[in-house]
Amino acid sequence: MTSKAFAAAPSVRQDTASSAMPNPTPSAMPNSATTFRPGFLPSLEGLRAVASMGIIGTHVAFQTGHDVGALWERVLGRFDFFVAVFFVLSGFLLWRSHRSGYGGIPRRKALADADGGRKKSWAKYYKKRVARIMPAYWVLVLIVLIALPVGRGADLKIWLTNLTLTQVYFSGSLHGGLTHLWSLSVEVAFYIALPLFAIGLSRLDPHRQQGRRIVAISLLAILSFGWPYLPLPYPEGVNPHIQPIAYFSWFAAGMILAELESLQGVDTDAARARVGTMQRWARRRSLWLAIAVGALVLASYLGPEGLVELTNWEFTRRLLCGLVFGAAIIGPWTMAPESRFLEHPIMQALGRWSYGIFLWHVAMLSIAFPLLGVKLFTGHLLSVTIVTVALSIPVAAASYALVEEPARRFFARVWVNR
């Protein structure tokens, strides 16, 4: 794995309000507590904005040559840990919906039957994911490979693998302007596998057995750290350090946070006491920020720095630091979500556009250098950052207004809800 293997894919959206949720299916477990009804958390939308800027920072640092050298430069290089923020957030948002019966994947067969059948429910979930992710993604791939200098020279394999988000499974498929999209391929693999996790844990009552569910998710996360060590016959040129299973622990952290958040829907004295304790700890923002910064600095100090291949142990160490970083950033705002800064209208707008910022920022970075008249790896960190951000935000806003939202509404009308 190279030092720039991490990138972010902020493609999971929250519902804008709890009223936007479908009517819950009657519980198959009549003795369970009231179902926790997840709602929109504005602070998490604001965190998307923070994370998307962090991802721009790490790629600018690399391409200006400021990801190696002094400790502050190495810390900039490790801003790729903001991918962990997005993966934790994806795990949290999708799992909180599915475990509560609002995400389209029923917990039990009885719920599936009441909702019109498991197959129909699965189909709707997958359709929503495709409608959310693919239209804007395809527009990016087409424009980069056809119109931008950084995307020139793509052969048929590059076209096919990038259009199908399978580039991590084939050698030589990470192409200029699109190299960061490997992480979206990883995230899509999680989307595909999520129903299997939901079914596998469906026999554990989500209202009474959170502890066992958390243990099960944690065990799977621990096992995922062993993936790079398996003697698998990877084709020449395929990087085992960007395979989806290797990153399950980051998604699992979000799933565990969703289980903890759901305790707010359990009507017992013990649950209320646990929730109160977690909320008090969650409001200690400076503590969690210190933990996140500590993980970032530790990974930067331990290295290695620069664009080098990692050993399996170095990769595992980086995964662990990224796990701590992502959980420390997302966790506090899942239990105590209030934040004037993150809920500011500017942060909310940037959060809405964060998927477009992620998609387009590398292409915009390739334009920033000729606009400024500077060469790769020759410095100019501040000016390149300013130009890249200034280009990425309006392009992302246009993508949201002209592609993402119209496509989502169109597919919801003609495909998803059918």
**Mean pLDDT computed over 262-281:** 90
Determine what percent of the chain is predicted with pLDDT higher than 70: 85
Q: How far is CA 192 from the centre of its chain?
A: 14
**Mean pLDDT computed over 270-281:** 94
Cβ(392)–Cβ(364) under 8 Å?
A: yes
- What one-letter code names the amino acid at 139? V
Tokens of 75: 């810390």
DSSP SS3 for 206:
coil
pLDDT per position as a tens digit, 93-106: 999 888 765 554 54
- Per-residue pLDDT, 242: 96
Q: How far is CA 319 from the centre of its chain?
A: 14
**Mean pLDDT computed over 47-53:** 98
Residue whose token pair is 């804008």: 16
pLDDT category at 267 given cuts 50, 70, 90 is confident
- Per-residue pLDDT, 300: 96
DSSP 8-state symbol, 20: G
pLDDT per position as a tens digit, 141-180: 999 999 999 999 999 999 999 999 999 999 999 999 999 9
pTM of the model: 0.90
Among 278, 255, 280, 275, smallest CA distance to 263 is for: 275
Mean pLDDT of the chain, nearest integer:
88
**Mean pLDDT computed over 288-310:** 94
Among 367, 388, 335, smallest CA distance to 96 is for: 335
Between 368 and 96, the more confident residue is 368
Q: Is the pLDDT of residue 17 over 50?
A: no
Tokens of 46: 């604001």
**Mean pLDDT computed over 338-352:** 97
Between 109 and 202, the more confident residue is 202
Between 99 and 88, the more confident residue is 88
Cβ(10)–Cβ(354) under 8 Å?
A: yes
Q: Is the pLDDT of residue 259 over 70?
A: yes
- Per-residue pLDDT, 54: 98
Report the alpha-carbon distance of residue 15 to residue 345 in Å, rounded.
17
Question: For residue 174, how many other CB atoms are within 10 A of its CB?
Answer: 21
Report the alpha-carbon distance of residue 356 to residue 350 in Å, rounded.
10
Question: For residue 276, how many other CB atoms are within 10 A of its CB?
Answer: 10
Instruction: Provide the residue ranges of all domains of the chain, joining segments of one domain with +.
Output: 52-416
- What one-letter code names the amino acid at 208? R
Cβ(120)–Cβ(45) under 8 Å?
A: no
Q: Is the pLDDT of residue 251 over 50?
A: yes
DSSP SS3 for 148:
coil
CA atoms within 13 A on the CB side of 103: 26
The number of residues making up the chain comes to 418
Between 299 and 195, the more confident residue is 299
**Mean pLDDT computed over 255-265:** 92
